[in-house]
Amino acid sequence: MEAVVEATDVRKTYGETVALSGASLSVEGGEVFALIGPNGAGKTTLVRALTGTTEPDSGRARIMGDSPMAVDRSRLGVLPQNFSPPDRLSAHELIAYYAGLYDNARDPDDVLADVGLADTGETWYEDLSGGQQRRVCVGATLVNDPDVLFLDEPTTGIDPAGRRTVWRLIEELAASGTTVLLTTHDMAEAERLADRVGLLADGSVIARGTPTELVREHGGSSRLTIETAAGPDAFADLEYPVDRPERGRGQTPDSVVVVRDIDPVAIATVVDYLERHDLEYTGLTWSEPNLEDVYLALADGTELERTDRADETDDGADLQQTGETA
């Protein structure tokens, strides 16, 4: 299938900061592609290079075969990470405003319904909750019924129910043929929505594939987590490797141990071991590896401390209005 969005060896520096060091990806028509990676990895910069709001130093960005500067903007929807529309408009007025930028726009009421805000249309934007505001912003990208949608952290700040509304919406859009490139820090979101995932670290895409492929290749093995005060040494005679959990799985590392490479059918062996050795435990959880494990295996520790934004060679303010999408 033809690539609808394509980045080839894109490089971008801001003063001393290398934001992109040769990033490449391609997104096929109708595909949902999720870009994940640590803070500062370059996700927003890559989205900006692809949508024509920043010019790469070198490399090539293409949308539907055209350069981002030349592409028909009415076929794109772009949700910037820091999109802040005017406060003193109602949700409906805002959507209607953005719809007014296009010759053929959708009915604002339908767009509000899509993002789960049918009953909130008359509320001023400034009076909406953070998550509702973000949903209005997602709605603003849909007014022109785009063929290609760029969503930079679409669900940040949205509560679980609202997030599911946005997820279902993205799934429906993809099912109707819209090509979607999104960035996210939510691994469950990437795993649920993405046909393919690209992991960006230190300015380049270091792994890509379907979530299943990435998990199979980099996610490690299934595991049994035991809540116990006993340390890994107490399991020296168990036939499976036992250690402490990685960071990021929500446990207090000193109160749990992890048995690796274990099938669920072998859990009874571990229970038997605990009882024979008088080891007290309060819980057992068996789990398969997921995208978070891939992230932790490949990108943990690559987090960049590139906070020096003093040399702002191009102006982030150009992203403050989705009017630019017209």
Ligand X SMILES: Nc1ncnc2c1ncn2[C@@H]1O[C@H](COP(=O)(O)OP(=O)(O)OP(=O)(O)O)[C@@H](O)[C@H]1O
Enumerate binding residues for ligand X (CB under 6 A): 14, 17, 19, 37, 39-45, 81, 304, 306, 309, 311-312, 314, 316
Q: Which is nearer to ligand X, 50 or 136 (CB)?
A: 50
State in angstroms the smallest separation of the CB of 20 from ligand X: 8
State in angstroms the smallest separation of the CB of 189 from ligand X: 14
CA distance 159 to 15: 37
> Which distant-in-sequence residues (6+ apart) come within 8 Å of 130 by Cβ?
157
Q: Which is nearer to ligand X, 239 or 312 (CB)?
A: 312
> Which distant-in-sequence residues (6+ apart) come within 8 Å of 140 by Cβ?
79, 83, 85, 94, 95, 98, 322
State in angstroms the smallest separation of the CB of 42 from ligand X: 4
State in angstroms the smallest separation of the CB of 306 from ligand X: 3
State in angstroms the smallest separation of the CB of 261 from ligand X: 33
One-letter amino acid identity for 269?
A: T
State in angstroms the smallest separation of the CB of 311 from ligand X: 6
Q: Which is nearer to ligand X, 186 or 293 (CB)?
A: 186
Name the residue with tokens 């400034």: 126
- In the bound state, the residue with its beta carbon closest to ligand X is 306
Q: Check if the beta carbon of residue 326 is closer than 8 Å to that of residue 74.
A: yes
Q: Which is nearer to ligand X, 245 or 316 (CB)?
A: 316
**Helix runs in the chain, H state only:** 43-51, 91-99, 108-114, 130-140, 160-175, 187-193, 211-218, 267-276, 291-298
CA distance 183 to 45: 11
Of the candidates 117, 64, 124, the residue with the CA atom closest to the CA atom of residue 88: 124
> Which distant-in-sequence residues (6+ apart) come within 8 Å of 191 by Cβ?
197, 211, 290, 291
Q: Which is nearer to ligand X, 46 or 138 (CB)?
A: 46
Name the residue with tokens 């997921």: 290
Q: Backbone phi, then psi, for 164, in 5-degree steps?
A: -65, -35
CA distance 89 to 97: 9
State in angstroms the smallest separation of the CB of 204 from ligand X: 12
State in angstroms the smallest separation of the CB of 314 from ligand X: 6
Q: Which is nearer to ligand X, 50 or 148 (CB)?
A: 50
Q: Backbone phi, then psi, for 78, in 5-degree steps?
A: -130, 120
Q: Which is nearer to ligand X, 94 or 298 (CB)?
A: 298
Of the candidates 172, 193, 173, 322, the residue with the CA atom closest to the CA atom of residue 182: 193
Q: Which is nearer to ligand X, 54 or 141 (CB)?
A: 54
